[in-house]
Structure 1
Amino acid sequence: MKTRQGRAKRPRRTAAWKVLAVGLTVSLAGCTGSDGTSAGSAETSASASSSSTASATASSEAGADVVTLAEAFAATLDDEQLSALNQDYTFENAANWSNLPNALLAGGMGGGPGGGSNSTGRVGLQTSTLTDEQWTALEDLLAGATGTAENEGYDEIVQHLEADDYLGDNGGGDDYGRGNFFVAFLGTPSASGTWELQFGGHHLAVSNTYTDGALVGATPSFRGIEPMDEVEVDGDTVIPEQQERAAFAELLASLDDDQLTTATLSDSFNDILLGPGKDWAFPESSEGLVGSDLTDDQKALLLTAIETYVGDLADGDAQTILAQYEDELDETYVAYTGDIAMENNGDYVRIDGPSVWIEFSMQNGVILDGAHPHAVWRDKTADYGGLTS
């Protein structure tokens, strides 16, 4: 079995394993487990919306699980690692994420689209320092904080790490690979007060903010992938972002000619607008085709596209947020430029609602030939848990 950054790469864990592992961890810690339900259809979202008390309880339980798993991970670290892991809960630290490999950030490419707020690199503990035991504890934590669906949540994170391993092995070199990711606790994991679980590296940013044990923000959430084509890495099939691309393509293909004309943006885009360093910079007015002008079937496709991002969260949290976005569908806009298949450089699509903001932009390859996507999910009130400065 191939070793990467000092750690033997293990097979991807299944959603069933995740539910069992989180349940066992919480049971041993004497805490209540999360509900384990999956984010699903519009019917499920409507049900969650009508049960706000139950959703809030599930969110609090999931938050308690994450605290338990965070403490278990921290318990495996030495003093030097803990010093790197534990960072202050500040806007500067929270906003210090990027789609770039950390070597480029540390080389002074921070700031603006594609860069981060800190040109010295990411904050936190670099994964190359982790032992197998520590990696396992980190995986448990990430699994507890994210969704159980195939190709979403935790499964998608693992595929992102595998994709970066693939880049390292196919022309990227040592600047790419799972050892170049960072994990940070901004503030102290606790059932009271506010803290953020930050995890990221090339093409990936996870930023879950918790207050009094409940998730209060899961954005900015960045996903990109290179290669876009399906590849095999040590026996695993890597296909993250394919379901997102397909969901956007199906939504746009459902529009008639008049709707497509209304949805077409006058400008072209070579990247996302609200990338790293572009916090709280939402456009003052929305463009494109408004949700109230969609058929019921088209609204379902719009919600499905949104769900491919919200579904990256722990399942109970995803239900609650998706129900809110569903309530706002009539006021949510769809806009695009390029080809509706979303397969080539310059193809771009945007979802812009009262709360939700999602962009998907196809880019030229950097290490490999062929286009690949950059995508960001933001929330107009809940980015960084509402922290603005």
Structure 2
Amino acid sequence: MPDRVVGERMVEAARAWLDLLDGEQRAAAVRPWPSEEERHRWYYTPTDHGGLPLQRMRPAQQQRAMRLVAAGLSHPGYVTASTIIGLENVLDQADGWAGNWGRERNRDPLAYWLTVFGEPSLSGPWSWRFGGHHVSVHHLILDGRVRASTPCFLGADPATSPLLGGLLLRPLGAAEELARELIESLDEEQRSRAVISPVAPVDIVSGNRPRLGDGDRLMPLPDVWRGHLPEPGLHDLATSIHQNAEARAGFGPQHHDAVGLTAAPKGIAAAELSASQQARLRALLDVFIGRVPEELAAREAEKFAGDRLHDVHVAWAGGLERGLPHYYRLQGPHLLAEYDNTQRNVNHVHTVWRDPDCDFGDDVLRRHVEEFHS
């Protein structure tokens, strides 16, 4: 089974990493199974993501940590995540080398944390999480098989950076270009259904909620930090940043309502798209599910094979012209994929891929408990 092949690679990589840790490091790196509350805690902000940070590892330990990360991503996914981590140095320069979030170095490519939940093995459940600013990777392994790989977050700030020779670095450029190709291919009537708001939300609507529900609305920035802002004054700063961003965008209550999550997807269904438009939608969907190892991505793609794609909806908010703040999402059975580019003068991208029914493997674990432990 392909998911078992990947699971075996993860077990081997996790054990190799843990074998190099001393007692103090291992105490930070390993949580007992199931540690449900901690396992469902995740971020994409520059905060402590829980576990053992790269900062506290020797070079050889860092290498083995990244080997586990690579086991949980496709090669393009790993290159993209590594590039995003490297952008912390670029962002540090853009911020004037100043820190303001309660850390000695605000933008730090070593401020990424790795955590293992349970004992990596080919029997029973265990999971692992890797996260830091703009990267959050989660996998659940049950009886040696990778059973869940969401939430999976990748962001980029700056989204576009200059390279020598006039080239541009765009780690998540395909997520914009393919979506533009799709939205531009829609006729006027199709577009009227696809565009759900003339103003884009200032972040992904799902935020970093551990579970998604009907009626979820855009989270205020302090809530995204989930009570882990290290200093009291930072809560007020985060509140001010969020309120100012919404004021500049003209994002009001009616827009919150328009882009709020609902159980019945908003936007236009793939069933109402032409064959060529559906092909563009599949290519766009592959940008999200293709971030995991090829064996797992093929399994995910099967969920949307043939007519099963028809229930996936495309929704867009914001401007259609380049340079304008914009947001979109793909939503259907076992799928919520979001993209947002509104911050830092439309040069700051957030993307997330989720399974509202089985994030963190919750549905798989529930069935496992019912079958074997009831």
Give the shorter-chain TM-score range: 0.7 to 0.9
Indicate conservation of the 8 Å contact 2:198/2:318, yes or no.
no
State the partner residue of 1:302.
281
State the partner residue of 1:166.
90
Indicate conservation of the 8 Å contact 2:81/2:154, yes or no.
no
Q: Which runs of 5+ in 2 are unaligned?
A: 99-104, 215-261, 367-374
After superposition, the Cα gap between the structure-2 partners of 1:217 and 1:343, relative to the gap in structure 1 and judged at 3 Å, is farther
Does 2:290 align with 1:311? yes
Inter-partner Cα distance in structure 2 for 1:323 and 1:359 = 20
After superposition, the Cα gap between the structure-2 partners of 1:341 and 1:312, relative to the gap in structure 1 and judged at 3 Å, is farther
Match of 2:20 among 76, 88, 99: 76
After superposition, the Cα gap between the structure-2 partners of 1:341 and 1:140, relative to the gap in structure 1 and judged at 3 Å, is farther
State the partner residue of 1:376.
352
State the partner residue of 2:42.
97
After superposition, the Cα gap between the structure-2 partners of 1:342 and 1:311, relative to the gap in structure 1 and judged at 3 Å, is farther
Inter-partner Cα distance in structure 2 for 1:199 and 1:226 = 19
State the partner residue of 2:2.
58
Indicate conservation of the 8 Å contact 2:160/2:347, yes or no.
no
Q: How does 1:131-280 map to 2 (within 5 A)?
A: 131-148=58-75, 152-171=76-95, 172-173=97-98, 174-232=105-163, 238-266=169-197, 268=199, 269-277=201-209, 279-280=211-212
After superposition, the Cα gap between the structure-2 partners of 1:380 and 1:302, relative to the gap in structure 1 and judged at 3 Å, is same
* Structure 2 residue identity aligned to 1:101: P
Inter-partner Cα distance in structure 1 for 2:168 and 2:120 = 34
Indicate conservation of the 8 Å contact 2:55/2:110, yes or no.
yes
Q: CA offsets, 1:244-281, max 9 Å, x none?
A: 11111111111111110111104742221211125222
* Structure 1 residue identity aligned to 2:59: D
* Structure 2 residue identity aligned to 1:127: L
| 3-state secondary structure, aligned to 1:265 | strand
Moved more, 258-267 or 218-227: 258-267
Q: Which runs of 5+ in 1 are unaligned?
A: 1-56, 103-120
Indicate conservation of the 8 Å contact 2:327/2:340, yes or no.
yes
Inter-partner Cα distance in structure 2 for 1:291 and 1:237 = 32
Moved more, 378-387 or 78-87: 378-387
Shift of 1:165: 2.3
State the partner residue of 1:320.
299
Q: CA offsets, 1:103-130, max 9 Å, x none?
A: xxxxxxxxxxxxxxxxxx4210011112
After superposition, the Cα gap between the structure-2 partners of 1:343 and 1:131, relative to the gap in structure 1 and judged at 3 Å, is farther
Moved more, 268-277 or 327-336: 268-277
State the partner residue of 2:269.
290
Inter-partner Cα distance in structure 1 for 2:31 and 2:198 = 40
Inter-partner Cα distance in structure 2 for 1:133 and 1:175 = 25
Indicate conservation of the 8 Å contact 2:197/2:318, yes or no.
no
After superposition, the Cα gap between the structure-2 partners of 1:260 and 1:237, relative to the gap in structure 1 and judged at 3 Å, is closer
Match of 1:339 among 313, 319, 332: 319
State the partner residue of 2:217.
none
| 3-state secondary structure, aligned to 2:50 | coil
Inter-partner Cα distance in structure 1 for 2:30 and 2:304 = 33
* TM-score, length of structure 1 as denominator length: 0.74
Inter-partner Cα distance in structure 1 for 2:130 and 2:61 = 15
The count of aligned residue pairs is 306
* Structure 1 residue identity aligned to 2:272: D
Inter-partner Cα distance in structure 1 for 2:321 and 2:351 = 16
Aligned residues with identical type, % of pairs = 25
| 3-state secondary structure, aligned to 2:305 | helix
Match of 2:54 among 127, 132, 156: 127
* TM-score, length of structure 2 as denominator length: 0.77
Inter-partner Cα distance in structure 2 for 1:278 and 1:375 = 16
Shift of 1:166: 1.7
Indicate conservation of the 8 Å contact 1:163/1:238, yes or no.
no
Indicate conservation of the 8 Å contact 1:245/1:342, yes or no.
no
Inter-partner Cα distance in structure 2 for 1:341 and 1:189 = 48
